[in-house]
Amino acid sequence: MLQLPFIRENKEAVIKRLAVRNIDAKPLIDQVIILDEERRALQTQLDNVLAESNSISKEIGMLFKSGKAEEANALKAKTGDLKESSKTLSEQLNQKADALNQLLYQIPNVPHDSVPSGNTDEDNEEIYKEGDIPQLHSEALPHWELAKKYDIIDFELGNKITGAGFPVYKGKGARLQRALIAYFLDKNTEAGYTEFQFPHLVNETSGFGTGQLPDKEGQMYHVTGDNLYLIPTAEVPGTNIFRDVLLNESDLPIGITGYTPCFRREAGSYGAHVRGLNRLHQFDKVEIIRVEHPDNSYNALDSMVNHIKEILKELKLPYRILRLCGGDIGFTSALTFDFEVFSTAQDRWLEISSVSNFETYQANRLKLRFKNKEGKNELAHTLNGSSLALPRVLAGILENYQTEKGIKIPDVLVPYTGFEWID
């Protein structure tokens, strides 16, 4: 969440930048500032009462030592009143702090100055495009038809076992899926990211730490009996590794990667655009996560973008990069770049990666800090990116690499699959 001193000192700038998200934040910011003033006033009262109580306690001790028991006992009655007063003020302070946090949880991150205005994904800014769109043969098929033709993904079976959006990968489809995961992890570890295996369920505190709660509670699968959540992305367990951690400046930067299945309810999704692998409730993804010094986080963001570019070049898939507009950027992000691969058989772009800088927004919730050169504790910056999300990468490979003979496996993946064709 946003830091209170930052809001107090930059009130008008915060309201102006949040307007890029199409949000009139003034009423909420005004409430935050009023509540914060009330909280600070209560804190001052409590500090004064505690200071007076401590002073009187010392005075009582001195009186007893001086043999003035009667005066000491008279003062003890006053300390009882002060203790009662401090208890009441502490309760009021906690209530005020809780109310303040509930307001802060409702305020999204302030967009970076480069984030363009806009309402929907149609207003996102294309900043880069690479790769030739292949010319397919006349009987080319979308990936869901190819999956059926070559018996590599069974959507109906997944529907039978669980429900729509839970496909079953079979034979060469399963092996291609496994090959992509191994390839992505290898590329990430070669780039210096340390591989982790994460839990697939997280507690409520972890959900709040990275900002999925309360913002996206309706999109997460909730195991109510244990109050745990199925992860929507490895970002959640991966970033929470650093919750309540105080790093040394020399520890930075930190880069980690991991493969997980991801679970999203995708409530309200419908229509032709969700066919096949386009939108699923369970899918596989390899993630990269970085913890950075604030001075270096945007250089790190650029390096993450370049890293994903390199992967897509090796896969030889046509892709483009979008800078997300204020109306499409995620709740916790300051700046996000989306990668989209062109699906030739569907004649549309499919999102395969989001790379974001959260600046201090997540770190403030996580209490993720480092000790800087002056010896002061400072919030770190957190970043993450899909590297990559598998379903639409797989869809792009199936559709763009299809021939009349079968589906050619990208050269870079052959050592991982052990076969060159799906036929």
Domains of the chain: 4-105 (1.10.287.40), 121-422 (3.30.930.10)
CA distance 322 to 103: 31
CA distance 379 to 370: 6
pLDDT higher than 60, residue 101: yes
Torsional sign, CA 81, 85, 90, 91 = positive
Q: Do residues 220 and 232 make contact, with C-beta atoms less than 8 angstroms apart?
A: yes
How far are the Cα atoms of 79, 245, 347 from residue 201, in angstroms, in the given order? 49, 21, 36
- The pLDDT of residue 268 is 54
Which positions make up the binding site?
Answer: 233, 264-266, 287, 351-354, 384
CA distance 141 to 385: 30
Q: What is the mean pLDDT of residues 401-405?
A: 96
Which positions make up the binding site for L-serine?
Answer: 233, 264, 287, 384
3-class SS at 217? helix
CA distance 256 to 254: 7
pLDDT higher than 90, residue 87: yes
Which among 367, 392, 391, 388 has a CA at the least distance from the CA of 379? Answer: 367
3-class SS at 135? coil
262-287 per-position pLDDT tens digit: 999 986 555 556 789 999 999 999 99
Q: What is the secondary structure of 281-340 as a DSSP string?
A: SEEEEEEEEEEE-GGGHHHHHHHHHHHHHHHHHHHT--EEEEEPPTTTS-TT-SEEEEEE
45-79 per-position pLDDT tens digit: 999 999 988 888 788 878 777 877 777 777 777 78
Beta-strand pair 168-169/348-357: unpaired
- The pLDDT of residue 82 is 87
pLDDT higher than 60, residue 85: yes
What residues form DSSP beta bridges with 379? 369
pTM of the model: 0.92
159-190 per-position pLDDT tens digit: 999 999 999 999 999 999 999 999 999 999 99
- CB neighbours of 277 closer than 8 A, spacing ≥ 6? 143, 144, 153, 167, 283, 391, 392, 394, 395
- The pLDDT of residue 217 is 87
Percentage of the residues of the chain whose pLDDT score is greater than 90? 87
Highest mean pLDDT among 50-59, 216-225, 360-369: 360-369
- The pLDDT of residue 271 is 53
Per-residue burial over 5-27, b if 16 or more Cβ lie within 10 Å, else e, is eebeeebeebbebbebbeeebee
Q: What is the mean pLDDT of residues 99-126?
A: 96
Q: What is the mean pLDDT of residues 230-255?
A: 98
295-315 per-position pLDDT tens digit: 999 999 999 999 999 999 999
pLDDT higher than 70, residue 21: yes
3-state secondary structure 147-211: HHHCCCEEHHHHHHHCCCCCCEECHHHHHHHHHHHHHHHHHHHHCCCEEECCCCEEEHHHHHHHC
Tell me what the pLDDT averaged over the chain comes to. Answer: 94
Q: What is the mean pLDDT of residues 197-204?
A: 98
Q: Do residues 149 and 141 make contact, with C-beta atoms less than 8 angstroms apart?
A: yes
320-363 per-position pLDDT tens digit: 999 999 999 999 999 999 999 999 999 999 999 999 999 999 99
Phi, psi of 153 (to 5 degrees): -140, 130
Torsion of CA 389, 390, 392, 396, to 10 degrees: 120
- The pLDDT of residue 81 is 82
Which positions make up the binding site for ATP?
Answer: 264-266, 351-354
